[in-house]
Structure 1
Amino acid sequence: MRRWGPVIALLAALLGSMVAAAPAGPSTEATPATLRTLAAVRGIKIGSAVNITALATDDRYRDTLHQQFDSVTAENAMKWSRLETAGDDAYDWSAADYLVETAESFGQKIRGHTLAWHNSNPTWTSNLSAAERDAAMLEHVRTTVSRYAGRVDVWDVVNEPISDKDDARLRDYWTDLGGEDAIVRVFETARAADPTARLYLNDYNVEHAGAKSDAYYALAARLKSRGLLDGVGFQTHLTTRVNEATGFRAVLQRFADLGVEVAVTELDVRVPMAPTAEDKIKQRLLFRRATNACLAVSRCVSVTVWGFTDSYSWANADDDPEYGNATLYDTAIEAKGTYWAVYRALARRDVDTQAVAGHSGRCLHVVNGSTEPGAKLQQYTCTGSTSQVFRFRRLAPRTFQITNTANGLCLGIDGASRADRAKVIQETCVEGAPAQTFVLRPATGDGAGDGRQYQIVAQHSGKCVEVRGGNLTNSGRVEQSACHRDPAHTDNQVWTVLWGHL
């Protein structure tokens, strides 16, 4: 197998100091309407797998990666078969180091892929006994994670552990190494090597209900119970031929309810190489559905596409010559309709949701379900009634006008008062009114529950919406007061905003 050291040395000679210095591309400040800026507003990361050769030699590829994505995944550069081809602890870090250095210069988070995978073992390990192979794998995990400790944010620790067979058991590779105990050892080794990194499982064909998804869930639950698992990855390799992705949101939520992060990790959608108009429409639909599924689940932290351009896509070099062109950009690195499908999903301005008081578990509620201006707000047992559902209309990052969906009236501070204990009421909407504009400030706390925790801050006064006196009962008055400096998630100024990312 070709070594990356000589290749990158040659590229450095041809391209000046690009590899050594990993200079940044064009500033994202000049292009605010990008996937990465839209994703940041929604509170998720948007990422891409990275082709190292393209990163080093193709300026358009490099600039697009920088402008559009705030997270990168090592497509191949961090796989064991690429790092330690010869054994005897002789590692070639050149490609992986280059990716990390470039990502850091671009202000991108890094997803390490993958530490343990049955399809990416160095050839020399085939001559080892099971015990020797296990020991070598753990040493590889320890060495690799330690090298990038504090720099790689997320590791796909074990990739594709579940078999495609009808019984959805662990793959034979893991059974030969000792079954689930071998997987536990890999996670324990990674955790010890970098306690700050987020540790994930990752697999495919688990985006819909079925035996494989169930087996994946059970494994995730057991690893979570041991304190070893931080997140679950869903590869999401789709094709217009068979996939619909209609149940994906429910699957993500099921796993999120374990108390772990979830992420779309390898999204692409294959179409026929000579697609009809209907094929293209369905491809856009599947990209949008996958993105929306993540946005609808508050613990979904990222959407990563498996390469962003058809010119460097594995889908065009795989064993299915009839299907491909699975990415967001064409071979000239021009945005396709699939790009705009993801863009529009991220750019959606309005979210209909409930807000739950952290201290009481009761919902923000219009008193008596009134449709009249001047009606007060209170907390009340959550029922899902229209008097408890509010539309958060995004005006700017984390800044919203909040309307009751039943009557279209805006929440505001009574009389635009700046005083403590001024009531929160509903009133006729006035575009841009500061007393009807609220900033959602992320609160401290453990992030437990179905949503995310925020202080809701009135823009005109800088004061926080709270339940007066920490009242725990129905009819507790909602008003503004000076914001607590370090609120916990049980604080009476902290609101859990349900159903996804604002």
Structure 2
Amino acid sequence: MITSTPRRRRRAWSTIAAVATASLAATTALLMSPGTAQAGTTLGASAAESGRYFGAAVSTQYLSESGYANTLAAEFNSVVAENAMKWDATEPNPGQFNFSGGDQLVSWAQARGMKVRGHTLVWHAQQPGWAQNLTGQNLRNAMTNHIAGVANHYEGKVFAWDVVNEAFEWDGSRRQSNLQRQLGNGWIEEAFRAADAADPTARLCYNDYGTDSINAKSTGIYNMVRDFKSRGVPIDCVGFQTHIAHNENLSTYQANLQRFADLGVDVEITELDVGQGSNQAATYGTVTNACMAVARCTGITVWGITDKYSWRDDNPLLFDGNYQKKQAYHTVLAALNNGNPGGGGGEHITSAASGRCLDVPNQSTTNGTQLQIYDCWTGANQQWTVANGEISVYSGGSKKCLDASGGGTANGTAAIIWSCHGGANQRWNVNANGTITNAASGLCLDVAAAATANGSKVQLWSCTGATNQRWTL
């Protein structure tokens, strides 16, 4: 996360993973029992253990096929429509919407506890013929009306939208689509603002291909996202399609994800498929490991379930034409189980005074980083695990504990993160009145000066009962 104040969008807190919760006892402090971590046996379950999703692109026409539907339901915890939510499918005639295909997928997914990504609101391809022929303000109105109609229809049902798809060329310049030619450079921003107005709860993403390394195209997109964040344009995430060959050069893939995450947006792998070849499994593993290593990489979607129905003819998916698991499947599963957790998985600790969340600035894992409050989102730097008197963030080798700096017991002692050691300055009571007190000092976790703004520092202070010392889990 970056420390500049973003717009105040409502964020959907979608609990993709099954996380442990506890209730406060009326008179006793809360001490949550630790869960027992187990290796997941399916892609979705394994991803959920680190707060991520593992999804698949779905063609609704195949849901009646038992192998297709059973594999989808068993292995994945998120879906995206291959075509059913695109412009030509949802608005074949001006102002006349058809949501039948998308609604079918949403209903199917909801019945099985699966999340739904939206793809895509605006794209230069698969526009209906009537839209392709529009010019100037007529095209602008058609675009914003389409976004409003579709995003509003799926409000509360779709956790993230690919608002704009494939708007850049290989050299990092804007694609000269009808949208670019007719509407100019501002059209992408206009699309995001329209989507924000239509569904303020969904995460809004830009999505593109050929961005699998630090190259001219990904840098062009990076510069746009950086500009959007600096000006408060509502963008929450960037999708990396990752349609690649088995011998793709992925030497800068993780670094590329991380540089976008450092701008303060989530990153998602949105259309993953890898051509067959001797390195297919290893390449899938490299991509999955990269996501697991970046805390703001919130999930992976493969573009299809079975090779039988892939848009490619080089058998690029995790299941063969008979729905048998390929070696690539086992490599991905191992990477999901062995990677560093991130992307969520714990609980928000929210200040009663401001509604903002206990936050590790800039997703730092450095010992001594002082905590702050910040707008709540799904990042791992706001996901706290409360267990046996310990309050921790991250996990695996990155796990850090809530700590009273230097073992201090005086008012104003900074609340920091530090490597967990079990000392009294890292022991906490979560009390029935909403306060969180340090076992060593008895002082309360406190937002300094009763501030409510993003970036306000968190410290320890004598308990007063004020709202800046009350927290909800």
Please say whether Structure 1 and Structure 2 have the same fold, judged by a TM-score greater than 0.5.
Answer: yes
- Which residue, out of 61, 65, 68, partners 1:58? 65
1:452 is the counterpart of 2:385: no
Determine the C-alpha separation between the residues in 2 that align with 1:199 and 1:345: 27
Within 1, Cα distance between the matches of 2:259 and 2:417?
33
2:403 corresponds to which of 444, 466, 490? 466
Matches within 5 A, 1:12-23: none
State the SS of the aligned residue for 1:482: strand
Q: 1:52 to 1:124 in 2, by over 3 A?
A: same
Contact 1:259-1:448 at 8 Å conserved across structures: no
Residue in structure 2 matched with residue 270 of structure 1 by the alignment: 275
Q: Deviations along 1:183-233, whole A, 9 cap, x unmatched?
A: 111111111111111110000111201111110101112222323101111
Q: Go from structure 1 to structure 2 and tell me whether the alpha carbon gap of 1:49 and 1:450 turns closer, same or farther (over 3 Å shift).
A: closer
Which of 273, 286, 291 pairs up with 1:289? 286
Gaps of 5+ in 2: 1-38, 343-358, 393-401, 436-444, 448-454, 461-473
Aligned partner letter, 2:234: L
What RMSD in Å do the two structures reach over aligned CA positions? 3.4
What percent of counterpart residues are identical? 36
> How many residues get paired?
366
**Rounded Cα–Cα distance in structure 2 between residues aligned with 1:135 and 1:172:** 17
Identify the residue that residue 499 of structure 1 maps to in structure 2. none
Matched, 1:45 2:53: yes
Q: In the alignment, is the contact (CA less than 8 A) between 2:53 and 2:298 conserved in 1?
A: yes
Alignment correspondent of 2:330: 340
Q: 1:186 aligns with which of 191, 200, 208?
A: 191
What amino acid does structure 1 have at the position aligned with 2:303?
A: W
Amino acid aligned to 2:327 = G
Partner amino acid for 2:60? I
1:313 corresponding residue in structure 2? 310
Residue 89 (structure 1) shift = 2.1
Higher gyration radius (CA) = 1
Greater Cα shift, 177-186 or 35-44: 177-186
**How much has 1:458 moved relative to structure 2?**
4.9
Task: Give 2:427's aligned residue.
Answer: 480
TM-score (norm 2): 0.70
Task: State which drifts further: 61-70 or 484-493.
Answer: 484-493
Work out whether residues 292 and 340 of structure 2, in 8 Å CA contact, stay in contact via their aligned partners in 1: no
| Counterpart contact for 2:363–2:381, Cα < 8 Å | no
Q: Structure 2 matches for 1:51-450, cutoff 5 A?
A: 51-55=59-63, 57-85=64-92, 87-164=93-170, 166=171, 168-225=173-230, 226-241=232-247, 243-271=248-276, 279-280=277-278, 282-316=279-313, 324-348=314-338, 358=360, 445-446=374-375
Cα distance in 1 for partners of 2:365, 2:202 equals: 35
Using the size of structure 1 for normalisation, the TM-score is 0.66
Distance between the aligned counterparts of 1:291 and 1:297, measured in 2? 10
Query: Bigger CA drift: 220-229 or 246-255?
Result: 220-229
1:135-194: per-residue Cα shift (whole Å, max 9, x none)? 212111111111111111111000001013x35334343321322211111111111111
- Equivalent AA in structure 2 for residue 466 of structure 1: D
Task: Give the SS at the match of 1:314.
Answer: coil
Give the aligned residue type for 2:426. E
Cα distance change, pair 362–290 in 1 and its aligned pair in 2 (3 A): closer
Describe the SS at the equivalent of 2:186. Answer: helix
The one-letter code matched in structure 1 to 2:185 is: E
Cα offset, 1:361, TM superposition: 11
Structure 1 match to 2:20: none
User: Using the alignment, how far apart are the partners of 1:479 and 1:160 within structure 2?
Assistant: 48
Local SS of the residue matching 2:427? strand
Q: Which structure ranks higher in relative contact order (CA pairs < 8 Å, sequence separation ≥ 6)? A: 2
Opposite residue 289 of structure 1, the aligned amino acid is T
Give how far 1:351 is off.
7.5
